[in-house]
Amino acid sequence: MPGVADRVYLRHSTDKQTDARQRHALTALLAAGAPVYEDPATSSRQLSLDRAGFTTLLHEAAVGDTIRIADAARLFRSVADILALRPVLIRRGLHLRVESGLLSGIDLASDDPGTKMMVSVLAAVLEFQRDMISENTREGVAAAQAASKTLGRPAALDHDKAITIVEEYRQGVAIKALARKHRVAPKTIRRVLDAAGARNLPDAPPTNTGEQHRMPASDLDATLDLPGLLADHLRTTGDETVRQALASGQTIRRGRGYSVRITAPLALHRAALEQSAALAEAGPTERKAHRVYAARVTAAVQATRLHPS
């Protein structure tokens, strides 16, 4: 296929590590001028589809392009990650090749039965490797705790308390009141709300506490196009209702990208927006996709207010 290209992907886990070994394995490609996409200081626990550098690669890649990595662990280290990644690559017509080790020369994005079997075995091996690392970490933590050592910086708010804060905010409690109640700074409350996308949603409580808070008609259906970046993210992180809506939606191709056209109650669109809120804090491409979808949801909600059925 004319015009196809190789695209190099690099990742290392911490600031103390480098990508020198990866670059050595990919020397020929780098010398040939292949474009490079990097996710430095990025944990392997973060799914590849949630990484800024890799998602930029996906959006710039054309059908027939090949993603080149030094070793499999640079891109995925869990069953969930590789199972989420393969359908995306296959759907976009991309190839994935590892440059060193036993997997070199194999297109891991191929959809033939032999590759499927090999990927399943590879995923199991990588999962075992990750579990061993986790076990060693737990043993190290236990030993440190037994020695009365303090590990890490304590979090200001745990997961359950963060959920409570979002719920209270939606009920109309002001940010400063939440900060006083939970004994944290207002900026901490804002970070929690922004991470959940609560302050961007159209039904966020008004700053004037005397104004009556009106909920949108959440049971009304709306047909909205959900950007492909958000769709890829929600297929692995969204709840069952959102994933079912994606599965029944219509894929709309737009150049190298795509959207999923979903007809569903506004409540579902708002849930999808909130569940993809992590992308609002990712790279510029992800932020734009989240912002576009948020604008569509907001416009749909406003339309129901202006023209209620």
- In words, the CATH class of domain 6-125 is alpha beta
Measuring CA to CA, which residue among 18, 194, 15, 29 is closest to residue 100?
29
Q: Are 19 and 10 in contact (CB under 8 A)?
A: yes
Q: Report which listed range, 52-56, 110-114, 201-205, is most confident.
A: 52-56
What's the average model confidence in pLDDT over 123-141? 64
In tens, the pLDDT along 74-125 reads 887 666 677 778 889 999 999 999 887 666 777 888 888 877 787 777 667 6
Of 50-64, 81-95, 190-204, the one with minimum mean pLDDT is 190-204
